[in-house]
Amino acid sequence: MFSFEVGSLLNIGLVLVVGLVVSIMMIWVERRFLGFFSDRLGPNRVGPFGIFQVIADALKMLTKEDWIPPFSDKFTFVIAPMILPIVMLLSLGVIPFAPGIGVMDLNIGLLWVFAMAGLASYSTMLGGLASNNKFSLLGALRGAGQMISYEVFMGISILGIVILSDSFSLREIVQAQTDGWFIIPQFFGFIVFMVAGMAESHRWPFDLPEGEAEIISGYNTEYSGMKFGLFMIGEYIGMVVLSTLIPVLFFGGWLAPFGLEFGNEIISGLFWMGAKTSFFLIFFVLVRAALVRPRYDQLMSYGWLVMLPLSLVNLLITGAVVLYQAG
């Protein structure tokens, strides 16, 4: 039972604990790096380098009043924040971290991730709808429109990978990249996937559902205490999922670049997967620090008029080249 094979109890515990801890620590890492990017220091007073800031934040959230608005739809109001972390953790389950490390090895792993990402939009929608608040409803509508439209070409953008690797299983996709990472033949797919992924997890600069400048806090306006905390943690787990998914799909997952493997393949795989994931986590923080939030019509027209044609052309060319090479 306690062995390094996909789905063993040790693996489940490892992925759950490490995934959750990394997601929660991202709150501190993000604030720290946002500070560095804007010539500040960030939170550095609680514990060494401020790493216990997250514990202080969690204590604050847990001791706050857990208020359910009397005008809200109570059942939906309570259920909505639970959906997001659950589905994000479920999609973390199919990520192949290293050979033999992972919770599930589904032959439709990619579709599973997309199904879970689709369910995640219910969290935003139901949360905003149940709050019975104009601003929450506006945020929920924005979230629904944004997530559904960006999901379309997020799916199309990785069909090129499915064509190249001939599989929906994430492990086989990684194995198919031993000869060369998919970033080179699928560069435009990568661009579209990354932008759509950021919009999907409504991270900055696509945080229009929250858009605190215009609609207070969007769909989570009425949420306080740990219910808001669940929304936040869910968003950070989504960020971790995205940051693991991009290396798996485009950067060879656990495969070492330039043959820089060391030790046994599990340790080497975990190291390289962690390195690539950290790179993208920090990159998303940089994106948050640097880019401004677009207007909602700009977001929509950018998605439908630029990203969708780009992903379709990418799919078309990939298919044509594969067919041509097959003879």
Binding positions for other proteins, rule: CB under 8 A: 33, 35-41, 286-287, 289-291, 306
Q: Least distance in Å: CB of 278 to other proteins?
A: 14
Residue 40 or 60 with smaller CB distance to other proteins: 40
Q: Least distance in Å: CB of 233 to other proteins?
A: 26
**Beta-bridge mates of residue 101:** 98
CB atoms within 10 A of CB 56: 15
Q: What one-letter code names the amino acid at 86?
A: I
User: Secondary structure of the chain: what % helix, strand, coil (to 5)?
Assistant: 70, 0, 30
Residue 9 or 290 with smaller CB distance to other proteins: 290
d(CA 284, CA 208): 16
Instruction: Answer whether 64's CB lies under 8 Å from 127's CB.
Output: no
Q: What one-letter code names the amino acid at 193?
A: F
Residue 35 or 69 with smaller CB distance to other proteins: 35
E strands, 15-144, where?
Answer: none
**Residue 190's Cα: distance from chain center in Å?**
14
Count of residues making up the chain: 327
Q: Least distance in Å: CB of 152 to other proteins?
A: 19
Residue 36 or 75 with smaller CB distance to other proteins: 36
Tokens of 164: 């190249």
- DSSP string covering 280-310, please? HHHHHHHHHHHPPPPPHHHHHHHIIIIIHHH
Residue 38 or 264 with smaller CB distance to other proteins: 38
Residue 78 or 183 with smaller CB distance to other proteins: 183
Residue 118 or 205 with smaller CB distance to other proteins: 205
Establish whether the linkage from the previous residue to 85 is cis, with ω within 30° of 0.
Answer: no
Please give the C-alpha separations between residue 34 and each of 26, 196, 287, in angstroms, as whole numbers: 11, 22, 10
Q: Least distance in Å: CB of 314 to other proteins?
A: 15
Q: Least distance in Å: CB of 239 to other proteins?
A: 17
Tell me the torsion sign for CA atoms 124, 130, 131, 134.
positive
Q: Least distance in Å: CB of 320 to other proteins?
A: 21
**Beta-bridge mates of residue 98:** 101
Tokens of 190: 């990568």
Instruction: Answer whether 174's CB lies under 8 Å from 166's CB.
Output: no
Residue 226 or 289 with smaller CB distance to other proteins: 289
Q: Least distance in Å: CB of 37 to other proteins?
A: 5
Q: Least distance in Å: CB of 217 to other proteins?
A: 25
